[in-house]
């Protein structure tokens, strides 16, 4: 993995145009860039998307998946979709929030439920009818992006060389965050020294002591080898890692009615599949990390989570300042969806098996 990390240093940034777009033997080629390496949740999602399109178009659509490192940082992938050089990409709010302030609603802590299946219903299964989703789609469009899907990838987990049970444990902690401004405020609210940096620099940042801690879902902690240089993983269920799939508006506008409907159907089907897949990946990788030894898992209980929740609440005002009136409406709508999901009771979320 360390070799793979070295390869992530964007040696091939200029690769757009060197794919198979012009290779007629593959029919139509859609370029889909992901922000994670091969074997990740985003990789599985994109490969499944590619397989479904290949199957349903009889091979006429070939989705070419570009893992992280081949085309650039998250910010560069977004620019390539905006310019139409890429048809599709993952764009995580933790980075995209620098471009679209409103999407930072997904970087707020303790806003969603601590029940993953309920969050799935709020963010994925019932999202199509939700006001917050429509407002986000408008915001994306104003930045030359089509929002195709919201994809949760599992709980964010804090890693450090000490357990992070209390706000005191965060005092002065150099916590790496993704680059959007709200994340800096989120960790400053806990007393940490937030240090934004791109994904590819996190391992060396930890190794060299430029940062003390970082936060990511378990599958990423494993595949990026962060656990090798961190002694503790603290599970606070403060927020899931949420990403989005974006498309070039010109690409979407150019789809036939049939292909547009297929795109909609495929994305819908990938909702429950995505939940089952990320849960399996995160469970398997947690076991792998713990079996290897050297890294301890700590889970905060309700009384330990409470002071973090209280410290996080003023960050919602900071979000509204950054994201303006539409941000306020998004926050209100998402909060309503969370409350309604509690009232709904019953079986939580739409959960499906992987095929
Ligand atoms: O921490 C990050 O920057 C990245 N983490 C994940 C799990 N996916 C993409 C993102 O860029």
Ordered per-residue pLDDT tens for the chain, 355 residues: 443 443 343 333 333 333 334 454 658 999 999 999 999 999 999 999 999 999 999 999 999 999 999 999 999 999 999 999 999 999 999 999 999 999 999 999 999 999 999 999 999 988 788 999 999 999 999 999 999 999 999 999 999 999 999 999 999 999 999 999 999 999 999 999 999 999 999 999 999 999 999 999 999 999 999 999 999 999 999 999 999 999 999 999 999 999 999 999 999 999 999 999 999 999 999 999 999 999 999 999 999 999 999 999 999 999 999 999 999 999 999 999 999 998 765 443 333 334 3
Nearest to 305 by CA among 114, 156, 52, 53: 114
Does the Cβ of 217 fall within 6 Å of ligand 1? yes
Separation of 295 CA from ligand 1 center, angstroms?
A: 21
Structure tokens that stand for 150 in this block: 């919201």
Q: How far apart are CA 335 and CA 337, in angstroms?
A: 5
Atom of ligand 1 nearest to the CA of 214: 1
Does the Cβ of 74 fall within 6 Å of ligand 1? yes
As a dihedral over the C-alpha atoms of residue 45, residue 219, residue 235, residue 209, rounded to 10 degrees, the angle is: -130
Nearest to 189 by CA among 238, 240, 132, 116: 238
- 3-class SS of residue 199: helix
Does the Cβ of 91 fall within 6 Å of ligand 1? no
Does the Cβ of 223 fall within 6 Å of ligand 1? no
DSSP letter, residue 228: G
Domains of the chain listed by start with CATH number = 2-344 (3.40.190.170)
> Is this structure's pTM higher than 0.75?
yes
């Amino acid at each position: 993995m360390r070799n793979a990390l070295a390869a992530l240093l964007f040696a091939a940034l200029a690769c757009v145009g060197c794919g198979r777009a012009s290779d007629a033997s593959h029919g139509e080629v859609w370029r889909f860039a992901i922000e994670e390496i091969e074997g990740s949740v985003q990789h599985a999602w994109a490969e499944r998307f590619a397989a479904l399109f290949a199957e349903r178009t009889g091979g006429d659509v070939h989705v070419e998946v570009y893992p992280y490192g081949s085309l650039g940082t998250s910010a560069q992938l977004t620019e390539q979709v905006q310019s139409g050089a890429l048809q599709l990409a993952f764009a995580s709010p933790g980075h995209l929030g620098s471009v679209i302030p409103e999407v930072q609603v997904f970087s707020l802590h303790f806003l969603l439920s601590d029940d993953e299946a309920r969050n799935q219903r709020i963010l994925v299964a019932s999202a199509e009818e939700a006001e917050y989703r429509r407002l986000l789609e408008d915001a994306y469009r104003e930045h030359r992006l089509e929002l195709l899907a919201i994809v949760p990838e599992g709980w964010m987990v804090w890693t450090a060389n000490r357990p992070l049970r209390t706000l005191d444990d965060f005092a002065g902690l150099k916590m790496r965050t993704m680059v959007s401004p709200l994340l800096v405020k989120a960790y400053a609210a806990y007393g940490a020294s937030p240090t934004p940096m791109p994904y590819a620099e996190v391992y060396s940042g930890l190794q060299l002591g430029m940062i003390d801690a970082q936060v990511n879902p378990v599958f990423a902690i494993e595949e990026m080898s962060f656990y090798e240089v961190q002694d503790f993983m603290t599970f606070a269920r403060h927020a899931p890692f949420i990403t989005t799939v974006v498309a070039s508006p010109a690409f979407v506008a150019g789809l036939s009615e049939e292909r547009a409907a297929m795109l909609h159907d495929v994305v819908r089907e990938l909702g429950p599949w995505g939940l089952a897949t990320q849960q399996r990946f995160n469970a398997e990788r947690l076991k792998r990390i713990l079996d290897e030894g050297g890294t301890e898992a700590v889970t905060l209980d309700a009384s330990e989570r409470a002071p973090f929740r209280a410290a996080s609440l003023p960050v919602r005002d900071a979000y509204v300042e950054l994201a303006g009136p539409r941000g306020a409406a998004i926050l209100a709508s998402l909060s309503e969806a969370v409350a309604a999901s509690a009232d709904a009771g019953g079986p939580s979320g739409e959960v499906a098996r992987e095929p």
